[in-house]
Amino acid sequence: MTGLDFAIKMELDGEKYYLEQAEKNQSNRLNTVFKMLAAEEKNHAELLKNKAENLPYVLYNTYSEYKNLFQEVGDYQNIIKDIPDALDLYQKSLKMEKESIALYRDFLAKASDDNDKELFQYIIEQEEDHVALLDNLTELLNRPNDWVESAEFGLRTEY
């Protein structure tokens, strides 16, 4: 298996994982997050397949989709009560995304072709957006715990 084949498999495994989580969370806001991440992972796999087969591909920005999730922050404030393992799901997802970034950084460092470099840099940026999204959601879910643990001490971040 080549490195590119491994990356494609990793992206498809990520898509499968996120779709499974979306299915398990159909009745709450996590469903939207996991469906969006699954679609992103599928897109990454398709980009890599096209690259492997020397087919054309288009790189596009999906950052605005992430911003829309946070316009509905009120819905997330009660997730931790409704879904006790939400934080664990996000943390596992964070780990997967960080492993992906490490792999693509390695590919980028070894790439000699400008198109390859552009593709790997694009996927790194996409995965970094996933990490930022998951970090923000983890922080949002953790705030009630942080508040209770440190309510009597010093200044706390406004939210």
Domains of the chain (ranges, CATH numbers)? 3-147 (1.20.1260.10)
CA atoms within 13 A on the CB side of 61: 3
Q: Are 59 and 48 in contact (CB under 8 A)?
A: no
> In terms of pLDDT, which residue wins out, 159 or 140?
140
Task: Provide the pLDDT for residue 126.
Answer: 92
Highest mean pLDDT among 1-15, 62-76, 141-155: 1-15
Share of the chain above pLDDT 90, in %: 42
The answer on pLDDT for 134 being more than 70 is yes
> In terms of pLDDT, which residue wins out, 139 or 135?
135
Measured at the CA of 36, the angle between CA 34 and CA 37, to 5 degrees, comes to: 65
Report the chain's terminal Cα–Cα distance, integer Å: 47
pTM of the predicted model as reported, rounded to 2 decimal places: 0.75
List Cβ neighbours of 28 (8 Å cut-off, separation of 6 or more). Answer: 79, 82, 83
Highest mean pLDDT among 5-9, 80-84, 148-152: 5-9
81-106 residue pLDDT tens: 556 577 788 888 999 999 999 999 99
Mean pLDDT, residues 140-158:
57
Mean pLDDT score of the chain, rounded to an integer?
Answer: 80
